[in-house]
Amino acid sequence: MKLGARILKTGIAITLSLLLGEFLSLPSPIFAAIAAVFAIQPSIYRSYLTILEQIQANVIGAASAVCFGLIFGTHPIIIGFTAVVVIAVNLKLRINNTIGLALVTVIAIMENPGDNFVEYALIRFGTVLLGVFSAFIVNLIFIPPKYETRLYYKIVSTTEEIIKWIRMNLYHASEHTLLKEDIEKMKDNVAKMNQIFDFYKEERTYSTKKRFVKSRKLVLFRQMITVTTRALTTLKLLHRVENDLQVMPQQFQDLIKSEVECLLMYHEQVLLKFIGKLRVQPTTTVPNEACVGKRALIDKFMQYKIYDNDEENKVIYHIFPLISVIIEYSEELEHLDKLIDTFQNYHKDANSFDINHQRQED
């Protein structure tokens, strides 16, 4: 089991909030630790946005707890009713993510009030805020995430897995049930890629020059994710029409294999070019078609006769989406290749990637 940065940061934030609570002689530092757990976020920018929302939610929770506590007392029924009101207010203000912490504030204030209820409420409110700020400090200082590196290696590892399974499927070496299970895992990996991309997109840049470079990198990474998604779609269709493809003429099957294999090699080369491991000639132009077999594939498919009876056309109907996906995969690869060439041929120094040699994944 591998411990991620967020797990370590959560532990550090809990420790820091408890130590600060004891140092300030707060009566119940445990509430600061609970608040710290809610406040830990995967990026500094999200942590900044979260702390603003959580301060707002804590004010709502504390104000509601004090008002209902002074007017109606602190009977368990009143605490439950106050919680309902706080949830409704948070939903109305569209700060759903902070409902849990607002309820912690309500319970912290109303569960065991002292003689001076208002003073007690302020202390508990401050205790919860201490946990929030502790988490923010940890997010700001400890283990800052390198989403550029994480995103690149997540794309590479997912793409390598997809390419491996496509090759196995082309030569009928894959086990049907096992591949079906792995396709679901690869779907999850693509979803994680998009999540890391969002984190990377949210990272703040304060220089105009760096913002321009960042925008170019975002375009590249987004296209890389698109190409990987197209590769996964190709794998899913190859898996789905595997039996139909085997009843097609051998010449057509060979065309499919050669075209897809060409695209896989092209994809691997593009990934190497992306980080500068493949030489790029400034004078080299990208061909109109990534693989010469694409046109031959279309021409060959168009030669097949369409019958009047749809039952006789079933195989053709099933194969047609595969041809379409292969063409889309090819076009997205060509577009990515052009983007990388443009990126690397202009402003080379400014456009270097901050990617470590050591893989950083989840």
- Structural domain ending residue among the three candidates 125, 141, 157: 141
Can you tell me the mean pLDDT for 295-315?
65
Q: Tell which residue, 279, 165, 306, has the closest CA to residue 233.
A: 165
Task: Confirm whether 258 is domain-assigned.
Answer: yes
Do residue 136 and residue 170 come from a single domain?
no
Do residue 258 and residue 162 come from a single domain?
yes
Can you tell me the mean pLDDT for 191-216?
80
Confidence of residue 342 (pLDDT cuts 50, 70, 90): confident
Interatomic CA distance for residues 245 and 322, integer angstroms: 10
Can you tell me the mean pLDDT for 314-325?
80
Token pair, residue 154, equals 């997540």
Task: Confirm whether 268 is domain-assigned.
Answer: yes
Task: Confirm whether 112 is domain-assigned.
Answer: yes
Do residue 221 and residue 89 come from a single domain?
no
Do residue 116 and residue 213 come from a single domain?
no
pLDDT over 60 (residue 360): no
Structure-derived torsion over alpha carbons of residues 91, 95, 101, 103, reported in degrees to the nearest 10: -20
Q: Which structural domain, as residue segments, surrounds residue 151?
A: 147-345
pLDDT over 80 (residue 64): yes
pLDDT over 70 (residue 221): yes
54-58, 62-66, 149-153, 311-315: the lowest-pLDDT one = 311-315
Confidence of residue 164 (pLDDT cuts 50, 70, 90): very high
Can you tell me the mean pLDDT for 136-157?
82
Calculate the CA 130 to chain-centre distance: 30
What CATH number does residue 206 fall under?
Answer: 1.20.58.220
Task: Confirm whether 357 is domain-assigned.
Answer: no
User: Hey, is 324 helix, strand or coil?
Assistant: helix
Do residue 110 and residue 248 come from a single domain?
no
Confidence of residue 288 (pLDDT cuts 50, 70, 90): very low
Q: What per-residue confidence (pLDDT) applies to 349?
A: 57
Task: Confirm whether 359 is domain-assigned.
Answer: no
Q: Tell which residue, 268, 93, 72, has the closest CA to residue 163.
A: 268
Do residue 89 and residue 200 come from a single domain?
no
Can you tell me the mean pLDDT for 203-210?
67
Mean model confidence pLDDT for the chain: 81
Token pair, residue 89, equals 């207010």
Q: What per-residue confidence (pLDDT) applies to 307?
A: 54
- Structural domain ending residue among the three candidates 84, 106, 141: 141
Do residue 131 and residue 167 come from a single domain?
no
Rounded alpha-carbon distances, angstroms, from residue 127 to 23, 29, 33, 39, 133: 12, 7, 9, 14, 10
Task: Confirm whether 296 is domain-assigned.
Answer: yes
One-letter amino acid of 262 = C
Task: Confirm whether 24 is domain-assigned.
Answer: yes
Q: Which residue has the tokens 């283990």?
A: 143
- Structural domain ending residue among the three candidates 111, 141, 171: 141
Q: What per-residue confidence (pLDDT) applies to 285?
A: 43
Do residue 14 and residue 116 come from a single domain?
yes
What proportion of the chain, given as a percentage, has pLDDT over 70? 80
Can you tell me the mean pLDDT for 172-191?
84
Task: Confirm whether 361 is domain-assigned.
Answer: no
pLDDT higher for 23 or 208? 23
Confidence of residue 310 (pLDDT cuts 50, 70, 90): low
Can you tell me the mean pLDDT for 147-176?
87
pLDDT over 80 (residue 283): no
pLDDT in tens, 111-131: 776 667 888 888 888 888 888
Q: What per-residue confidence (pLDDT) applies to 143?
A: 60
Do residue 307 and residue 257 come from a single domain?
yes
Q: What per-residue confidence (pLDDT) applies to 181?
A: 84
Confidence of residue 201 (pLDDT cuts 50, 70, 90): confident
Do residue 120 and residue 250 come from a single domain?
no
Number of domains in the chain: 2
pLDDT higher for 161 or 356? 161
Do residue 160 and residue 96 come from a single domain?
no
Confidence of residue 284 (pLDDT cuts 50, 70, 90): very low
Do residue 107 and residue 174 come from a single domain?
no
Check residue 275 and report its DSSP letter: T
Q: What per-residue confidence (pLDDT) applies to 286?
A: 44
